[in-house]
């Protein structure tokens, strides 16, 4: 991170902000996609995240890595979005956001297979959203973002062992939440696709 650019952006320089965020836009996009599962929703959340970062820059106190702060803003923005969507749709925690589809890698599945796959992804994302924040962040960073435990530890400002522990607890909790859901077993195509984390 260029501290000079950051301080210029904090002072309200939009060009400095654009330069500062140029290298972090991909991170924001990936975080938003992993949380929402929809290109349209990820785009909306990404734009809202950038607005929140711009407005919140003056409050950044250099007490953590800037990338960690950006990640936290993006994750919080997505969680606010998911909570609002759930509230508006009135769905239960394990059946959220049916309209959040995922395009299967097979370009020619039948309509029924495609709907089932999209529904399975929605259930998985709903379960991930229901995890405690610290477990969810560790899981998203390591299993969906593909970051190493060491890199995730830096972003989350904890030690590597803590990240591993949180991921293990998150996996255990997901097994409980999704017990009996054959499509979402660890070896299912849906779970494998999620772990690859490809939009």
Same-domain status, 73 and 159: no
77 part of a folded domain: yes
Domains held by the chain: number: 2
The DSSP letter of residue 142 is I
- Lowest-confidence pick of 15-19, 75-79, 88-92, 166-170: 88-92
Classify residue 71: in a domain, yes or no: yes
Examine the domain organization and report whether 198 and 114 are in the same domain.
Answer: yes
- Domain assignment present for residue 101? The answer is no
Q: How confident is the model at residue 1 (pLDDT cuts 50, 70, 90)?
A: low
Inside any domain, residue 138: yes
Of 56, 90, 124, which residue is a domain's last? 90
Instruction: Quote the mean pLDDT of the chain.
Output: 78
The reply to whether 84 and 114 lie within a common domain is no
Give yes or no: residues 82 and 1 share one domain: yes
From the list 90, 146, 100, 89, the residue with the least C-alpha distance to 123 is 100
Condensed to tens digits (0 to 9), the pLDDT of residues 78-131 reads 988 888 877 776 544 333 334 444 343 444 445 445 545 556 667 777 788 888
Query: Which residues does 102 contact at the CB level (< 8 Å), separation at least 6?
Result: 37, 117, 118, 121, 193
Q: Contact at 8 Å (CB) between 134 and 169? A: no
Encode burial over 175-195: b for 16+ CB neighbours within 10 A, e otherwise. Answer: eebbeebebbeeeeebbebbe
Same domain for 72 and 113?
A: no
pLDDT band, very low/low/confident/very high, at 185 (cuts 50, 70, 90): low
**Do 120 and 84 reside in the same domain of the chain?**
no
Query: Environment class of residue 162 by beta-carbon count within 10 Å: exposed (0-12), middle (13-18) or buried (19+)?
Result: middle
Per-residue pLDDT tens over the stretch 34-83: 888 888 999 999 999 999 999 999 999 888 889 999 999 999 899 888 88
- Within-domain flag for 28: yes
Give the pLDDT confidence score for residue 20 in this predicted structure: 92
Asked whether residue 114 falls in the same domain as residue 180, the answer is yes
The verdict on residue 175 lying in a domain is: yes
> Does 99 reside within a domain?
no
Q: Any idea what the CATH number is for the domain that residue 168 is in?
A: 1.10.10.10
90, 117, 132 - which closes a domain: 90
Q: Does 100 fall in a domain?
A: no
Residues 141-159, mean pLDDT to the nearest whole number: 89
- Segments forming the whole domain that contains residue 54: 1-90
Confidence at 8, pLDDT banded by 50, 70, 90: very high
* Residue partners of 161: CB distance under 8 A and separation at least 6: none
Query: Does residue 135 share a domain with residue 86?
Result: no
What is this structure's pTM?
Answer: 0.63
Give the CATH number, domain containing residue 42: 1.10.1740.10
The answer to whether residues 181 and 175 touch, using CB atoms and an 8 Å cutoff, is: no
* pLDDT score of 113: 52
Instruction: List Cα–Cα distances, 27 to 42, 49, 161, in angstroms.
Output: 12, 11, 23
pLDDT band at 159 (very low <50, low <70, confident <90, very high): very high
């Amino acid at each position: 991170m260029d501290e000079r650019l950051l301080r210029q952006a904090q002072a309200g320089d939009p060009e400095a902000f654009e330069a500062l965020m140029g290298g972090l836009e991909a991170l924001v996009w990936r975080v938003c996609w992993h949380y929402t599962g929809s290109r349209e929703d990820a785009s909306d959340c990404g734009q809202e995240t950038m607005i929140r970062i711009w407005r919140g820059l003056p409050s950044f106190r250099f007490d953590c890595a800037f990338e960690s702060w950006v990640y936290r803003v993006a994750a919080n923005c997505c969680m606010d979005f998911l909570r609002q969507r759930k509230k508006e749709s009135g769905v239960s925690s394990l059946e959220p956001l049916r309209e959040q589809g995922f395009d299967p890698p097979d370009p020619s599945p039948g309509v029924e297979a495609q709907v089932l796959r999209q529904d399975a992804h929605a259930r998985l994302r709903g379960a991930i959203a229901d995890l405690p924040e610290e477990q969810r962040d560790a899981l998203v960073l390591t299993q969906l973002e593909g970051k190493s435990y060491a890199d995730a530890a830096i972003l989350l400002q904890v030690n590597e062992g803590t990240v591993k522990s949180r991921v293990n607890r998150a996996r255990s909790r997901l097994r409980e939440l999704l017990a009996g859901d054959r499509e979402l077993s660890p070896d299912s195509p849906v779970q494998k696709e999620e772990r690859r984390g490809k939009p």
